[in-house]
């Protein structure tokens, strides 16, 4: 398990870096007459990313939402609540079916432990802070690691293409993956927010000359970020298809689809105990993937 996190980390941290910006959006008023675009597309991306980082630093709102996740093992639906003490989630469905009694009991025990065990929450908080520091570093690196070009407009979005900057030198292993990524980015013209990013590996990414790990050429990801209410933007869809190996030819196949729906704001000072009570009172085993208005992830076949 540690090896999977270590050698697949660069790609997933990259995906999560966009989620980080969407997780806490500072209220931003869209304008019908936005300022002219900078002649340099990379500068436009740099300004947009700085706006995302500023938003993250100023907004401390919390939200409740449903998440539907699919991978090679099946599907899962959860009711998730963010709190000032971290996130708590109840599992609603597994493979579209209500949980068997023993599985539901285990899920209940997991939630109770999180509520009652301050030590467990502290460990989770430390991991979250460590990850956040890495994600911010990676997010800040995007304008330096890539060259962006304007690629047209559609439905109020500015579309840009990107490819690696040949003069960029990755300072650590996590950022090495940027040297093999290309794709497209969409920015909401009026709101000035990142709305979508599609990328693919145009060559293999190796770690330790290929002995420690490899991400195979052709891997893809798509991320969708949307306005969910109260001038707040969140990641609403994620689609990842990657293959590779870690530690001497151990094959890895990652195929994951996530859709997040039904966003509702909760109070800013909500505790994890209060969120647990909310989950206990309002349990509706409905798949987020089947709710009306669910955002659909861009799918690459």
Write the pLDDT tens digit of every residue in 135-150.
788 888 999 999 999 9
Is the residue at 178 inside a domain? yes
pLDDT at 17: 42
Q: Identify the domain containing residue 136 by its residue range.
A: 2-286
Number of compact structural domains in the chain: 1
173 vs 102: which has the higher pLDDT:
102
pLDDT at 212: 57
Number of Cβ within 10 Å of residue 264's Cβ equals: 11
Is the residue at 300 inside a domain? no
Is the residue at 293 inside a domain? no
* Angle at CA of residue 48, ends 43 and 52, nearest 5°: 145
| Residues 187-244: tens digit of each pLDDT | 999 999 999 999 999 998 876 555 457 788 999 999 999 999 888 888 899 998 888 8
Model pTM above 0.95: no
Tell me which residue has tokens 């991978």. Answer: 71
Is the residue at 297 inside a domain? no
Is the residue at 86 inside a domain? yes
Least confident of 47-56, 76-85, 145-154: 47-56
Quick one: average pLDDT of 119-128?
86
DSSP secondary-structure letter at 192?
T
Q: Is the dihedral of CA 260, 196, 127, 69 positive or negative?
A: positive
Is the residue at 301 inside a domain? no
Is the residue at 291 inside a domain? no
3-state helix vs strand vs coil in the chain, percent to 5? 35, 40, 30
pLDDT at 6: 32
């Amino acid at each position: 398990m540690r090896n999977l996190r270590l050698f697949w980390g660069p790609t997933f941290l990259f995906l999560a870096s966009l989620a980080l910006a969407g997780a806490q959006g500072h209220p931003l008023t869209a304008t019908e007459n936005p300022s002219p675009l900078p002649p340099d597309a990379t500068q436009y991306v740099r300004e947009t990313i700085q706006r995302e980082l500023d938003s993250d630093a100023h907004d401390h709102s919390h939200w409740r939402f449903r998440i539907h996740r699919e991978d090679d093992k099946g599907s899962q639906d959860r009711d998730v609540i963010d709190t000032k003490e971290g996130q708590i989630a109840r599992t609603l469905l597994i493979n579209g079916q209500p949980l068997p009694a023993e599985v539901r009991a285990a899920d209940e025990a997991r939630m109770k432990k999180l509520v009652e065990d301050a030590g467990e929450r502290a460990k989770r908080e430390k991991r979250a802070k460590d990850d956040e520091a890495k994600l911010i570093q990676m997010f800040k690196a995007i304008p330096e690691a890539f060259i962006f070009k304007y690629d047209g407009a559609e439905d109020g979005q500015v579309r840009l293409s990107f490819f690696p900057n040949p003069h960029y030198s990755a300072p650590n292993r996590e950022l090495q993956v940027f040297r093999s990524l290309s794709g497209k980015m969409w920015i909401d013209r009026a709101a000035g927010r990142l709305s979508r990013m599609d990328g693919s590996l145009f060559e293999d990414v190796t770690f330790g000359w290929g002995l420690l790990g490899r991400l195979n050429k052709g891997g893809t990801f798509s991320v969708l970020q949307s306005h969910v209410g109260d001038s707040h933007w969140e990641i609403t869809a994620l689609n990842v298809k990657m293959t590779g190996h870690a530690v001497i030819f151990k094959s890895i196949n990652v195929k994951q689809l996530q859709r997040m729906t039904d966003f509702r704001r909760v109070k800013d000072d909500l505790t994890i105990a209060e969120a647990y009570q909310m989950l206990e009172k309002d349990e509706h085993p409905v798949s987020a993937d089947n709710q009306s208005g669910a955002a659909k992830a861009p799918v690459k076949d």
